[in-house]
Amino acid sequence: MKEYIISFAQAFPNFRVAELESLADLHGIQVDLRHHDEKKPFLKVQLEDDEQAKKLIKRSILAKGIYELWGEGSDLDQLHESVQKQSTDKFSTYKHNTFRFDFVSFMGAKTTEEKIETIDTFRYLGFEGKIRLKNPEVIFAILEEYFVSGQERAEKPEYLWFGRQVEISARAEGVVEKYDLKKRRYIGTTSFDAELALVSCNVAQVQPGKVLYDPFTGTGSFLVAGAFFGGYPIGTDIDARSVRGKGSNNLLSSFRQYGTALQFIDLWTMDFTNNALREDFVIDTIVCDPPYGVREGLKVCGAKDPEKAAGRENNVVEGELGFKRRDYIASKKPYDLPSLLDDLLRFAAARMPVGGRLAFWMPTANDEYAEHHIPQHERLELLYVLEQEFNKWSRRLVVYVKRDETYKGVTHNGMRLDQVTHFRDRYFKSFNEKSKQNGADSH
């Protein structure tokens, strides 16, 4: 085994392990991530070789790069001692390659003069190749972690590592900026954050050539993200407006924007609870953000007043029954999130192959959340519940994997209808309702 060090971005640190574990599992890699500290941007890991390191990091969104570790220390002298003790046998391998040095720093930085001075201390490496700033054959990196207290600039790093760059991530290649919603042609008020959509697809293990399904497509944030990883997206949505878009500005235009239109299978106007997809059509991965019913009530096809709806359906217009006309809009009735999540888990358990993953987001009030609120299905193993916090409420990415017949889980719906209704009420009251009540109870 060889030692490597991973450099992370300072974004969603509580999602890092889930993303890397999912990518490791996808590629059949064994890696120990137990020593990860969310407060730190660097993590040492052991892997068999560079090929494993490349596979682990190549499509990561939360990591920036991975480096073969040559040495480490609490100051520059210790770093050099470590490099010369552990990695002397590597020096000759890169003696004649073109190269450059990079600095990867956290909470601090060096001036250009300080960087040059530091690089000069590595002369003992004996490299004879030319320094090439653009496209060198080998990149070496000095990774620095500074400790900052207050507003004062740290004078020197608290710890250093030195290594050879093995791979940079999709993030480092600019995918987060490329997929930024501000640059996307087709978005709406409910378009999901691009960075987290990409992370969701990684944790859900969207794979090249495999079918990705979003039952509540909207403007297609997850489908667009999944196509970046090579998935074949299909989507459905009860709202025909998201399917049609406006003129040429629609979901297909987003795929064209990113050069993934050939992967896009299709999008249908469909009520998920009355799903019309063939039962033998295999769906490898499901990633979605179910409608919470917060901004507007959650609805499905049906009618609160069946007799009135039947009259409208059977009304003859220009010699044609109403429900057969192309301009007919089906009646809708209220539905609740707990029932919808039950439907989603049952659908996933029935349609996904063994090993397929379901990932969806659900809202919770921070002061009311408990683990048993997460719904379960006997064929789906719960892998992760990852939280994105918004002050007094959170949304959680819930991830399951389908197991074979030997897996005996439990089936239960953790959410109650009154919890969802209460969440909606508190959402519009800025979640002050309970805190005010608690204040009154304390007097």
Of 183-187, 226-230, 410-414, 416-420, where does the model show the most confidence? Answer: 226-230
Q: How confident is the model at residue 441 (pLDDT cuts 50, 70, 90)?
A: very low
What gap in Å lies between CA 41 and CA 148, rounded to an integer? 14
In a shared domain, residues 95 and 235: no
Among 123, 139, 173, residue at a domain's last position: 173
Specify the DSSP element, H or E, that contains 236: strand 232-237
- Domain-embedded: residue 101: yes
Averaged confidence pLDDT in the chain: 88
Residue 367 has pLDDT above 80, yes or no: no
DSSP 296: S
- Domain-embedded: residue 252: yes
Among 329, 344, 372, residue at a domain's last position: 329
What gap in Å lies between CA 114 and CA 181, rounded to an integer? 38
In a shared domain, residues 85 and 35: yes
| SS3 call for 188 | coil
Read off the pLDDT of residues 347-356 as tens digits, 9 standing for 90 and up.
Answer: 999 999 999 9
CATH number at residue 240: 3.40.50.150
Can you give the residue range of the structural domain that contains 340? Answer: 175-303+330-430
Read off the pLDDT of residues 145-198 as tens digits, 9 standing for 90 and up.
Answer: 998 776 666 778 999 999 999 999 999 999 999 999 999 999 988 899 999 999
- Domain-embedded: residue 438: no
In a shared domain, residues 147 and 246: no
In a shared domain, residues 323 and 339: no
- Domain-embedded: residue 410: yes
Of 364, 300, 301, nearest in space to 335 by CA: 300
In a shared domain, residues 268 and 258: yes
DSSP per position, 100-132: EEEEEEES----HHHHHHHHHTTGGG---SPB-
- Please give the pLDDT value at position 437: 43
CATH number at residue 112: 3.30.2130.30
Least confident window among 84-98, 392-406, 407-421 = 407-421
Residue 215 has pLDDT above 70, yes or no: yes
